[in-house]
A and B are shown apart, each in its own frame.
Chain A
Amino acid sequence: MAEGRIDRLLGRIWLDPEDPTALGLLRIAVVGVLTASLLTHTGAVADYFSSQAPLHGEWAREAFPSRVSLFFWIDSPWAVRGIFAIGVVAHVLWLVGRFTAPASVVAWLVWVSMSGRSPLLYSLPDQLQMVMCTLLVCMPSGRGVSLDARRRGPRTVPVWCRRIIMVQLATLYTATGLLKSGPTWHSDHTALYYTLVNPYNRHFDAAGFFAWLQPWLLRPATAVVLWWEILFAAFVVLHGLRALLGRPRWFLDLRWPMLGFGVAMHVGIQAALYVAWFSPLVLASYLAFLSPDEAQRLLARLGRRRR
């Protein structure tokens, strides 16, 4: 009896099967961003990762001892370019969902090798690329909206796949929110102002305009952003609870306000600042919050529009 209950609980939380459409859409969006990011290395691959880099060979291994990389051992410029090209092909196959599992492993190996060989070429926003890439490799993401699915027929995926992405987003936001302990976030509420005027990554030189916005827009927005981040984990817990209870009508669906704010915030960040691929990748990850039936409706709508 107790064994049955535990099994049911395991099923509800992690193992129950669901339609693979939402996971398939998530794969396309995330791998699309990864592919675009990978392609921005084109033309500099040998300069960054081969023996032509100013830091190479045993010196590179000495500089980054805590990392593993194929390029520590295979470092002739043409071999490195060849591996990169294989990585591009693997990304395209992963994107369209053909030979998805092996393609995803090859793509992941290329990312591990690039990030491991020259970790200082990757910033904090790039961290999310490695994380999302790794999580997606662990999932049967080719079972939906893919060429593999077209050939082999529809197969379900476990519910944990989308939930893991939700846990990742919750950790990212809430940990960041809790670490924002300085006065610009908690007392003078100038954090957004200082973020927007940093010449290292600002798109617009408009300190005067932002200073004018500070008292009545940026100051309250700083507090709202902070609390939205801190509360994101609570939102994910409530969202998971709602799903476990079978999405009853009385249980408020918080996705619109929480994710809607996130979309607005990330679009704003992308418009105002250079943050590499962070915003597109986070927004792509939001697709994990689509239920399979919502994903199917979205696909059907897109299909109708195309016809």
Chain B
Amino acid sequence: MSATSTVLRILHALVPTALVVAIVAPALPSARFGEFPSLVARGLLLVSIKQTWGMYAPDPQRAQTYMDLEALYDDGSTASLSESLELEHGWGTTWAWRKTRMDIWKFYANFHPDRRNDHRTWYLRSVCVREARTGHTPHKITMHQVKRRFTAPAKVARGAPGLGEPDRSLVTIVFCTTSPVREMIEDDRQLNPELHG
């Protein structure tokens, strides 16, 4: 075998080897492997590849939470926004054709109610833009969360209902008339005048 073909074979072998590193490295514990796993993970994230797998880990959800959004307008009136419909319809069953990809964003926006969550911030800012398109820009939007715990199976077997009582709590307030939301709405008005009522 010539030296050239040996080099070519080694280069070829580097392709699957690099793929194995890209697959395995992000899942390695940083306590033992230092910065390397997060370095690889950050590189992969650029092209939207995530190799962190944790379905139903460390535990599956034991409660379900939906957001309850209320808009307050400059004239003092209030309105419940479309997100809050899930408080009525979200406790039964679901099928793929009833879901939209926005449900996934709402799911992420509900994470960590007592901490900063950028996904929630951007979601609520988007809601301001969406509502401004109706012709009535809210002054502010108040987000509550309604949580219902899943009853332990032993209690359900003894006749308890599968879901606990709703527990409502304040999460945050977003102002639609301050920066940067004001600029987002103004940009949207200029770019999509046909969408604004």
Contacts and interface: CB of A to CB of B under 8 A. Distances in A.
Contacts of A181: 57-58
A237 B6 CA distance: 27
Contacts of A204: 93
A185 B52 CA distance: 19
Q: Determine chain A's interface SS by DSSP, over half rule.
A: helix
Given A130-B50, A160-B16, A182-B57, A207 B152 contact: no
Contacts of B127: 54
A225 B58 CA distance: 14
Interface string A1-38: 00110010011001100000000000000000000000
Interface string B96-130: 10011110110111000000001100110111011
B11 to A, nearest CB: 11
Interface extent on A, as a size class?
35 or more
A95 interface: no
B16 A207 contact: no
Contacts of A135: 19
B157 A200 contact: no
A32 to B, nearest CB: 17
Q: Determine chain B's interface SS by DSSP, over half rule.
A: helix
Nearest to A188: B152
B188 to A, nearest CB: 7
Specify which of A57, A185, A274, A276 lies most central, judged by the most chain B CB atoms within 10 Å of its CB: A274
B42 interface: yes
Contacts of A116: 47-48
A153 to B, nearest CB: 22
Interface string A136-174: 001000000000000000000010100110011001110
A199 B90 contact: yes
A42 interface: no
A185 B55 CA distance: 12
B55 A112 contact: no
A197 B94 CA distance: 11
A164 B104 contact: no
A157 to B, nearest CB: 12
Interface in B1-57: 1, 6, 9-10, 12-13, 15-17, 19-20, 23-24, 27, 42, 45-57
A14 to B, nearest CB: 5
A175 B108 CA distance: 22
B61 A194 contact: yes
B180 interface: yes
A205 B93 contact: yes
Given A121-B105, A171-B51, A181-B57, A207 B15 contact: no
Interface stretch (A59-67, A86-94, A241-249): A59-67
B59 interface: yes
A127 B52 CA distance: 9
B16 A57 contact: no
A51 B93 contact: no
Nearest to B94: A274
Contacts of B123: 120
B166 interface: no
A42 to B, nearest CB: 12
23 contacts: A7-B6, A14-B12, A44-B100, A51-B192, A55-B184, A56-B188, A63-B118, A116-B47, A120-B104, A130-B50, A135-B19, A158-B12, A167-B19, A173-B53, A179-B54, A179-B57, A181-B58, A182-B59, A195-B60, A200-B94, A205-B162, A207-B162, A218-B153
A-B CB proximity, top 10 nearest: A207-B162, A182-B59, A115-B48, A211-B156, A160-B16, A179-B57, A182-B58, A121-B101, A54-B126, A54-B129
Interface of A: 3-4, 7, 10-11, 14-15, 41, 44, 48, 51-57, 59, 63, 66-68, 111-112, 115-116, 118-127, 130-131, 134-135, 138, 158, 160, 163-164, 167-168, 171-173, 175-176, 179-185, 190-191, 193-195, 197-205, 207-208, 210-212, 214, 218, 274, 276
